[in-house]
Structure 1
């Protein structure tokens, strides 16, 4: 048996070769694969030549940290080792701008200009293991070739190695330069708006706004404002900030004069104290296409790029100044205008007062004798004379009421009207005033209800002023009420009494209610019985109520009616009240006002057209006027000659025309419902009534009004007042023309006015002088012509009528089938003849000229007749081309007479003209 020696111990020798484990984490291929451009740059770097060594030797913590940075969409940077070797992603690259790529370099060198701000928080984070948080950190960067003002929100955290020790720094950042700069610019614009909202003196306001710019010296290192002055050229410096004003020019003619002065100002700006080297000059324009009100000189920060946002900021600042200056000047203009209007208003008030006083004397001398004659029972008047004098009396009293109203209003405006309050039985007086309108309301088919019980205590008013209040409200109700009724009520209130006048009239739209008591204001388009009136009735009511310490209000609904409410205190006597209360009755003026409304209303069921059969039954004239006295007067003038029908407005006239066609319409222009122009258009639009001659009567005198009427298609136009014999003559001429037109075949509807007048054939003897003056008169014999297309126009004798004739004649030539070239020649010749007639005819017996055009026997003939005596014009006044122009296109015949001159332009139709030789 083998026995082991206990002292023997076996010895084993082992050889162990230690092989280090490969680094854990992603291999080189996976590490940079998802990193975009930054990953490709990292993969291309020879890391063995850098302090961090080859990629294969990198610890797992570095590998994972780099991979996290590369795949992040947020700007991130990683530094490793004591050398601060940096790794960053694509989102971080814009952070360093032109210094990219800087991967693998020392971050302290890349951000050298900003390391004073970044170094301490990084060192703190790596030393204390506490992450930093720096919102809106100002950093000086030179990433675009200049010292740039930038702001970042940054967080720094320690980066740990595999052994848990701090091996680097992990940074996350985002640029907030836009938000920081935009916020401070917004605050400045707010401050500018606050300063500008005061709208004080222009220079003081601009200086205050300019001083407010110092709150943002980073964006506006300096600024100066130059403004234009009325009546001066160029711009004058008003205010400056951020620089020495003495170094700026006091005036500037243009913006270019301010662009080269920055260097001499020596202004320091920006957060880093750099010299300002650039500025912009912007015009201060209140409107897009207007002239500049001034110029804004604004310095540019040396640390910001002049990008779109910076330019927009400048424009907004300039816009603030321009808007404020524009508003100040607009307010100043409005103030001056208001002062001018106030002065004009005072002048008008004085004028009305003076004129009213002056008119009272002749009115008294007119109405007094007429009244004496009418009241004289010892010498009875013939019925016709009595009627005419009563007509004159009524309208004289109406004129007197208008004069008195104007005088009252002028006195109120001048502060000279003071009520004399006496104790008055207001209830009885109001009931009597309403009663004088009963006849007018009954004639109009309206119900009049009066409810005026006695008041429980004495009331003190000026009786004549109270009368005007009641009469104006009742007249207004009658004027605008056609169906239903009018209610007048008076009742006691707590401290006074209340008058209400309610109607079922046309009502008033809501937009017009605030303007209803403004003087001279009329509600446009409101249907009324008449267009007459001064427009001061309701304004006078308001003023008279205010003089008594009361007020007036209105409620209304279109189509339902209106309610006017006058509230007055009981008041106190203005004179000693020792005598008993006097009995007050309606004045003659009030009764005259009520009587005039009785004449201007018609009974329900009354025919639309009243008929006068005094004249020949074969011709009938339709008279259209909203004034009853005017209708009666025209009927009396025309009745002995023609049968006359009358209507009160254009609407009734159209109904009368539909019932029976008149031979002539004599119409007023300003009427309710359908006015004269609307009536004329309706007649001309209907082929059945197009031929009816229309003469317009109007109170609007002057050439412009005449042209407006004739252009609208009226056959004649007569301004009020007119002579009776002139009106009868014009009506007779119009009827004779209409009868002549009826004898001819119907013309094309486009022809303005068919007529039977013939144009004389040309006579060879008369000629025109070089100045267009007719030669010696020679008799000519009218020749009958073959009927053909015919037209006639009468136009006022002044230059503005030439374009009107040209348009009408062009249309007629086209309708008559005249060729384009020949029509052009005839237009030139005819317009030259008309121009001669206007310029040469002196002191015309009639203030118009007549033009007739016809195609007759293979010829086109145009005749131009004036009603004055011709005179030769001196060479300096005339070019001598009149006859030359006309003779070049046609044969010209001029026939003068004591009544005027007729020029006839005649030429064969183009198709029948003989061939002419050419040379």
Structure 2
């Protein structure tokens, strides 16, 4: 712009020839052109426009014709907004600042909404009157639009997230988008099903579309094409007559274009969504606008899909509830149907076992007894299912009558004495009389007691069982306590759920349907009571049943008229006892390993890395071959038949990942894992364990032992590939991290060695340097006057070089002291002005040698508690830095007060410091430019900063107006 302004014929402008310009205007133009920020000048009452290169964006296509033209001509479209502000500055002479001001501009052929932050600064002419306005401007359009649009997307997300139906999402979106016409003048969302479109959301319209018309059916837009391609499409011209349907604010410029975007991820979806968004004609359709509309579409799609998933979840929950009711009815029907054939089986079996006239042979008797026991157990399960379904459907048919609950409970518990004695357990029954009858259904109470006792017996391998009945204020409480394996805390809330079984529980048998405790809970609820459990793994469990006193809580139609004797089901009682006795000789053991499914195929798509080496370890040849076939298309694979063979292979060549079975001869998977982790050369090798032991405990055991992953059989080839690829990637990342850490440690050691060397070298150099100075002084005194006159210039140069070397040595000593934390300050009351004046006298020669003129501004007297030696060093370093980078230019030193601080500033007009270098130049051995050009060690500013911070002060560098750098130091006047 400087060249263009020099070439322009200003005589043809309102300002006239340059030689007629007032000096104040010339100065303002010089400052404007040198300013790195966008700056303009509006001069005179006509507001003639002048601007620098950085401000050309304000004119757009009007550059360069707008240079030297009145503001009212160049920016006539914004005069109604900026005109009063500018005239106010001219009239009052007061500066004005505005942030994010909306200014309409025609820069690229259309009226555009722009946002700027302005500083209008009055500029005086030579008569001290306001001659014009100096403007600093920042374009904040992107920030304002970005913040506004982000708020819109956030509001859309929050409002739609509260909706429980897709229709609710549509209505929430209409409410949010309807209030954001600046960014979304109108919005139409269409749902496409079988090539037919339905308008589900519309905003920005003065009236709703008529059902069946082109707009409602979407025939006015390229919906099918956008939905099929899933690519956005710009609609350059809106349909004919569409403008009459638009609403919007009065006087707002209606949109003429729109953008259609697909909201569906796949073109073959049954229901596809296409969004048509109107484009604000006063906002350019650039990358920012497209990104915003894509983000809006993605958020819209996410909200719809999430709500659809919620609706589907609700629908499925209703279906599951219906299925549950059907299942319950099915159990009831099946239970009824099974009881008949089971009765026909059990009758003849019982007769055959008790037939004394034609007794069975011993071997046949054992077989028939085995069948009879199985049938009894099956009938017990059928009866439990039938009872459970009756309870769930409200057809339990309970009859409540007053009974001696203590006597009944003691009698029921006595049936387990023989089984407890055979199992080596103690059975304690503590059921004193409660002093009053309790209203219960005797058969239901029998099932409660039997289920609790059989459950306790099943999970108690040693110790004993205790049955206790006691009376509390408003209830009778039955408790069954055992010394069994206990129940994990996390499993206790689910104990009374149907079909729930504690994973990995240690008991006499792994058999069971998982409905015993849930049946106890339902039968207790039938009595108006509640159940509870206390348990601690390794100590045992205690189950409690609380039954309210009296009968007012029970249905009146279910109460018996009085106490009566009910013939209880002896067969049901015997089935519980027989099952318990059948557990006694049983030895609990692990479940068999489930087989690996041969139908599992590897994923066809290979992982990203193909150069990994995998070692597969398994004693089963078929499984070993299968694992190899899965991995070999993607990795280099070797195999071993057990852990010992794997170790031998590992010591010859370390793989990237080991995949090993757990159960193997010679050395199993856990043994191989321990061997790897104990070998420093193999410790980092990832290992994936394969096991048929499912469940959290098995996985935790493997991971706690040091395995990197744990895979349960059966597994798919895809899952195996994913696990191996993950471990391979992590292994390589760990290697890269270790390498980077080693480099950092080596760098730290190198820096420490350098600091140590500098400390030693500085001390060693100081002694001969002092001797050199003394010898120079002696030589100068001993030389005869004529000879001294001949060599005086050489002696002077030698002395100066010695002083320079001395200064460098002092800098190196400072580096050593600061790096080792030995920089000490000796504060004393100091006449700062006198000290700085002495520094100037000593440093003036260096400045003059660099061709710099020095100006010293001070307001005194100034005294402070500082270290005078370090303060003198600070001033010397700053002046030396200014002389080095401001050759042939003025240097200013300012000294004054800033509140409770001293303010010292060194101002140069040299090359300046880039903003990205302002922090770096205060580092050790750092410079803003190459050392070859300006020399020096790069320590002066670093030492200066250390001295300032040791005083509790601060140092900063800023730009000097017109070019250069200003170093400002603030030091507390009192030592802290």
* TM-score in terms of structure 2 length: 0.54
The answer to whether structure 1 residue 594 and structure 2 residue 556 are counterparts is no
| Distance in 1, Cα, partners of 2:272 & 2:486 | 48
Q: Give the deviation of 1:287 after TM superposition.
A: 8.3
Q: Give the deviation of 1:474 after TM superposition.
A: 2.5
The answer to whether structure 1 residue 282 and structure 2 residue 261 are counterparts is yes
The answer to whether structure 1 residue 159 and structure 2 residue 123 are counterparts is yes
Match of 1:466 in 2: 445
Contact 1:429 1:586 in 2 (8 A): no
| SS of structure 1 residue aligned to 2:122 | strand
| SS of structure 2 residue aligned to 1:263 | coil
Task: Give per-residue Cα distances to partners, 1:543-580, cap 9 Å, x unaligned.
Answer: 22222222334454555544433333224165566645
The correspondence for 2:49, drawn from 66, 78, 86, is 86
The answer to whether structure 1 residue 248 and structure 2 residue 215 are counterparts is yes
Aligned-residue Cα RMSD (Å) equals 3.8
**Change in CA separation of 1:329 and 1:372 when aligned onto 2, cut-off 3 Å:** same
The answer to whether structure 1 residue 66 and structure 2 residue 29 are counterparts is yes
Task: Give per-residue Cα distances to partners, 1:383-416, cap 9 Å, x unaligned.
Answer: 5555444434333322221111111111122221
| Distance in 2, Cα, partners of 1:234 & 1:488 | 71
| Distance in 2, Cα, partners of 1:280 & 1:555 | 64
Task: Give per-residue Cα distances to partners, 1:618-643, cap 9 Å, x unaligned.
Answer: xxxxxxxxxx6xxxxxxxxxxxxxxx
**Change in CA separation of 1:247 and 1:379 when aligned onto 2, cut-off 3 Å:** closer
Contact 1:485 1:503 in 2 (8 A): yes
| SS of structure 2 residue aligned to 1:552 | strand
The answer to whether structure 1 residue 217 and structure 2 residue 176 are counterparts is no
The answer to whether structure 1 residue 293 and structure 2 residue 269 are counterparts is no
Q: Give the 5 Å matches for 1:302-451.
A: 302-372=281-351, 374=353, 383-384=362-363, 386-451=365-430
Residue range with higher mean Cα deviation, 121-130 or 373-382 = 373-382
Residue range with higher mean Cα deviation, 238-247 or 137-146 = 238-247
| Distance in 1, Cα, partners of 2:217 & 2:419 | 76
Residue range with higher mean Cα deviation, 591-600 or 417-426 = 417-426
Match of 1:622 in 2: none
| Distance in 1, Cα, partners of 2:73 & 2:363 | 120
| Distance in 2, Cα, partners of 1:200 & 1:176 | 39
**Change in CA separation of 1:43 and 1:411 when aligned onto 2, cut-off 3 Å:** same
> Which structure dedicates a bigger proportion of its chain to helix?
2
Contact 1:114 1:140 in 2 (8 A): yes
Q: Give the deviation of 1:520 after TM superposition.
A: 2.4
Q: Give the 5 Å matches for 1:423-572.
A: 423-455=402-434, 457-572=436-551
Q: Give the deviation of 1:382 after TM superposition.
A: 5.2
| SS of structure 1 residue aligned to 2:322 | helix
Q: Give the deviation of 1:286 after TM superposition.
A: 6.5
- Which ranges in structure 1 are unaligned for 5 or more consecutive residues? 1-37, 603-627, 629-647, 652-672, 682-703, 709-748, 754-802, 804-814, 816-919
**Change in CA separation of 1:92 and 1:545 when aligned onto 2, cut-off 3 Å:** farther
The correspondence for 1:172, drawn from 136, 147, 153, is 136
Task: Give per-residue Cα distances to partners, 1:620-672, cap 9 Å, x unaligned.
Answer: xxxxxxxx6xxxxxxxxxxxxxxxxxxx56x5xxxxxxxxxxxxxxxxxxxxx
The correspondence for 2:75, drawn from 111, 121, 146, is 111
Task: Give per-residue Cα distances to partners, 1:19-75, cap 9 Å, x unaligned.
Answer: xxxxxxxxxxxxxxxxxxx44544554556544455555444334433443444443
- Which ranges in structure 2 are unaligned for 5 or more consecutive residues? 228-232, 600-618, 624-628, 630-640, 642-976
Q: Give the 5 Å matches for 1:700-779.
A: none
Task: Give per-residue Cα distances to partners, 1:402-451, cap 9 Å, x unaligned.
Answer: 11111111112222124322223333433443343344344444444444
| Distance in 2, Cα, partners of 1:127 & 1:178 | 33
Q: Give the deviation of 1:78 after TM superposition.
A: 2.0
| SS of structure 2 residue aligned to 1:215 | coil
Q: Give the deviation of 1:320 after TM superposition.
A: 3.1
Q: Give the deviation of 1:225 after TM superposition.
A: 1.1
Task: Give per-residue Cα distances to partners, 1:754-780, cap 9 Å, x unaligned.
Answer: xxxxxxxxxxxxxxxxxxxxxxxxxxx
Match of 1:141 in 2: 105
Contact 1:159 1:170 in 2 (8 A): yes
| SS of structure 1 residue aligned to 2:179 | helix
| SS of structure 2 residue aligned to 1:540 | helix
| Distance in 2, Cα, partners of 1:71 & 1:289 | 61
Contact 2:401 2:561 in 1 (8 A): no
Q: Give the deviation of 1:201 after TM superposition.
A: 4.6
Contact 1:79 1:168 in 2 (8 A): yes
| Distance in 1, Cα, partners of 2:483 & 2:97 | 79
Contact 1:424 1:582 in 2 (8 A): no
Aligned pair count? 585
Match of 1:885 in 2: none
| Distance in 2, Cα, partners of 1:579 & 1:377 | 43
Contact 1:224 1:297 in 2 (8 A): yes
**Change in CA separation of 1:40 and 1:522 when aligned onto 2, cut-off 3 Å:** farther
Q: Give the 5 Å matches for 1:800-879.
A: none
Q: Give the deviation of 1:274 after TM superposition.
A: 3.5
The correspondence for 2:591, drawn from 659, 667, 674, is 674
| SS of structure 2 residue aligned to 1:566 | strand
Q: Give the 5 Å matches for 1:524-673.
A: 524-572=503-551, 579-580=562-563, 587-602=570-585, 648=587, 651=589, 673=590
Task: Give per-residue Cα distances to partners, 1:830-866, cap 9 Å, x unaligned.
Answer: xxxxxxxxxxxxxxxxxxxxxxxxxxxxxxxxxxxxx
Q: Give the deviation of 1:284 after TM superposition.
A: 1.8
**Change in CA separation of 1:138 and 1:440 when aligned onto 2, cut-off 3 Å:** same
| Distance in 2, Cα, partners of 1:212 & 1:404 | 59
Contact 1:293 1:325 in 2 (8 A): no
| Distance in 2, Cα, partners of 1:259 & 1:47 | 46
| Distance in 1, Cα, partners of 2:525 & 2:265 | 43
Q: Give the deviation of 1:120 after TM superposition.
A: 1.1
Match of 1:262 in 2: 238
| Distance in 2, Cα, partners of 1:141 & 1:554 | 76
| SS of structure 1 residue aligned to 2:285 | coil
Contact 1:225 1:295 in 2 (8 A): yes
The correspondence for 1:150, drawn from 99, 102, 114, is 114
Q: Give the deviation of 1:84 after TM superposition.
A: 1.7
Match of 1:852 in 2: none
Q: Give the deviation of 1:237 after TM superposition.
A: 2.3
Q: Give the deviation of 1:378 after TM superposition.
A: 7.1
| SS of structure 2 residue aligned to 1:141 | strand
Match of 1:25 in 2: none
**Change in CA separation of 1:262 and 1:539 when aligned onto 2, cut-off 3 Å:** farther
| Distance in 2, Cα, partners of 1:484 & 1:675 | 29
The correspondence for 1:202, drawn from 162, 166, 187, is 166
| SS of structure 2 residue aligned to 1:322 | helix
Q: Give the deviation of 1:478 after TM superposition.
A: 2.8
| Distance in 2, Cα, partners of 1:751 & 1:156 | 85
| Distance in 2, Cα, partners of 1:392 & 1:489 | 36
**Change in CA separation of 1:584 and 1:152 when aligned onto 2, cut-off 3 Å:** farther
| Distance in 2, Cα, partners of 1:586 & 1:502 | 26
